[in-house]
Each structure stands twice: as structure tokens, then as C-alpha cells.
A and B are shown apart, each in its own frame.
Chain A
Amino acid sequence: MHPDLDPARDLSRLLRALPGECAAPYGFAEFEQRAHERACRARDSRGGARLAVAVALGACALGLLVRFGGPLPAQPPAAEGAPLALRSAPGPEDEDLPPGAGERWLASLPSEPVIVRVGTRAAVIDLQDRIAQLDDLLGGARVGPAERATLQQERSRLLGTLVQVRYAETLADGPP
């Protein structure tokens, strides 16, 4: 095709004919002033970004501290004879617990009463140790008659408890 008949070429010529400099920019002084303002803004935004990062890190640290590093909740006084599992669980009345702990404690409670079998070995050994200590004291030469009577009473009580524990063991081991 002849170049003069090619419409794309004609278009190209029209576009190239547009002047290369027709937009007058602002002066050099204003350019420098704007550059200075931008530099200041960039510095401020860097400072702001640093502050935002510090605040975010602080919030994360606080969250972790509350979740994992907080003071241990006070153990509620367990009722005498209550199962061991319930004695160690935190109660909903603890004020220092994180939010939601009360709900979790309630959810952990069994829906019906549960019988928990606890081993008696530790209790038997403890009783036997105490009785042995009392025997040592009673065998000493410097025990007065009043003290001896008290020690004898205590030894009788501990022996009674030991007998009860042994009896419970026998019942638990026997046929249902």
C-alpha cells in the first residue's frame, strides 16, 4: 500500500505532529519545595509506621501474657471428699481468670455424678510413716506422762484410720 494511503501511517503522522512541549510545569523553586514536603511526609509516615508496628507488637505481647504468662488462678477450696479431678479444676468464681474460663470450667463438669476410684497406696504409706514417727517419740526417754498419753491417743487414731483404709481396699478388691 502506498504510504499516503495507509490510514495508520496518517494517524501516526498526526500524533507525531503534536508539539513535544506544551505543558508548562511549575518552577524549580516550587519543585524543590514539593520535594522537601514529600521527604517530610515520607519521614513522618515512616515514624507513623514504626509507631504502628510498636503498638501492634505491644498488643501481641500483652495478649500472649494474658493467655499464657498470667498469674495462676487461685485454687478454690475443695469440699471434703470431693473427687480429685474436681479439686484441681479452677472454679468460675476466680476473678483473675481469662474471659471464657468460667464457661470452659462449666463445660468440663460431668453431666451426672461420677465415682472416681483413687489408689490408696499413698494414703497407707503416709499413715504408716506417721505411726512410725509416733513410735520413735514414744520410745524416747524424755517424754513425760501427759505427752505420752497424747501420743498414744494419736497413734490409736492413726491405727484406726489405717484399719479403715485396709478394709476399704478389701471391699474394693472383692467381688461386686
Chain B
Amino acid sequence: MSRLAEIAVPRELLTRACAGENAARQALYAALAPATLTLIRRLVGQRALSEDLFQDAMMIFYERLPQFREEAPLGAWLRQIAVSRCLMYLRSPWKRARLCLEPIDSGVTAEVAALVTPGYRAEHIDVERALASLAPTARAVVWMYEVEGYSHQEIAHAFGRSVSFSKSQLARAHARLRTLLEPQEHPPSCTLI
């Protein structure tokens, strides 16, 4: 299971997809869609919203595919589109407030994912839940910095904010995640009946 930015596709498949061949477009979708949706879900949290943004991102991807210049793997190019769509959503104060008020379902999703995804371990559920408890902006910043490898400058530029905004968001997110993930002194007791 690879990250979206690392996914590359054969040039021949790309050429066929650019020419509009449906089978090639379908093959590209099969190769890129799961990682794209996973990334978007990690950034925004909610399933319905993620699917909306995923649909947007994939439509833009197919529309702009002839402009792809192969300077980076195709996945990295698609990641740029997906992140840009997510941040466009998160930059709107109205939508961000709505996102904070609505329940986040990443915890439940993590449990379901643990059942259906090979290699998914129990501790991943805790991390997913801790990540889901962060505010949308903080979650996006921590994911972009820690996992996707964006620098503070790049994050600040993407959000249209200062570098210190990115650093402070990351520091607060770290503190919260550490609190949530550190082992409890008094683990909940379990009674066998």
C-alpha cells in the first residue's frame, strides 16, 4: 500500500488515457483513487464531504491530464490537486465552522478499515481517532507536515498564512496528539461475566 505521491503509472497507459480511451482512464482510476480518497479523508475527516472533494479532484485530474508534463510521479501531481481542493474548502471560515460543528466519523471508519484493510493494526485505530479529534486546520497541517513532507513555508503558502501559523498549529496538534496517545496510568478495568 503506497502513498499517493509515490504512485507512478506507465507512460503508455497515460498516453492512452490522454487520448480518451475509457479502459485506460478506468485503469488510472483503479490505481490512484483509493490513495486519493484516503488522503482527502485524512485531511477533512467526514465521509460525505471527502467523497465530494474526491469527485472534484478526480474530475479536475482527468480534465487537466493532457497538461501533465511527467516532471514528478502522476500520484504527486494528483496529490497537489487533491490537497489544493481540500485547503480551498478549509480556508473558507464558514465551511470550517460547519466542519467543526458536524461529527467526525474517522474513528468509526478506522474500525471498519481495520476489518477490511490488510496490514491494519489495532494501534492504528487509536492514531486515527486521535487524528480525528483535532480541529480540521490542525489535522491538515499535521498530516501535510508529518506524512506528506510539506515544509512550513509550503504549508503557510497553501493556507495563505504565515510560517508561524503553520508552526503553532503543528505544535498544538503535537501536544494534543501526545496527550491522547500516551498510555493511561489507570487503564479501564474489564469485568468478565
Cα A71 to Cα B92 with chains together (Å): 50
Interface of A is mostly: helix
Q: How many residues of B contact A (CB 8 A)?
A: 42
Nearest CB of A to B121, in Å? 8
Are A28 and B116 CB-contacts (below 8 A) given A16-B146, A21-B35, A23-B109? Answer: no
Are A34 and B143 CB-contacts (below 8 A) given A19-B120, A20-B4? Answer: no
Q: How many residues of A contact B (CB 8 A)?
A: 22
Residues of A1-25 whose CB lies within 8 A of B:
7-8, 11-12, 14-25
Query: Are B55's CB and A31's CB within 8 A?
Result: yes
Query: Are B181's CB and A23's CB within 8 A?
Result: no
Cα A14 to Cα B147 with chains together (Å): 10
Query: Are B146's CB and A11's CB within 8 A?
Result: yes
8 Å CB contact of B59 from A11, A12, A17, A35: A35
8 Å CB contact of B29 from A8, A18, A28, A38: A28
Nearest CB of B to A36, in Å? 10
Residues of A bordering B, CB below 8 Å: 7-8, 11-12, 14-26, 28, 31, 34-35, 38
25 A-B contacts (beta carbon < 8 Å): A7-B178, A11-B177, A11-B178, A14-B127, A15-B127, A15-B142, A15-B147, A16-B146, A19-B1, A19-B120, A20-B3, A20-B4, A20-B39, A21-B117, A22-B1, A23-B38, A23-B50, A24-B34, A25-B37, A25-B51, A28-B30, A31-B55, A35-B55, A35-B58, A38-B55
Residues of B bordering A, CB below 8 Å: 1-4, 25-26, 29-30, 33-39, 41-42, 50-51, 54-55, 58-59, 109, 113, 116-117, 119-120, 123-124, 127-128, 131, 142-143, 146-147, 174, 177-178, 181
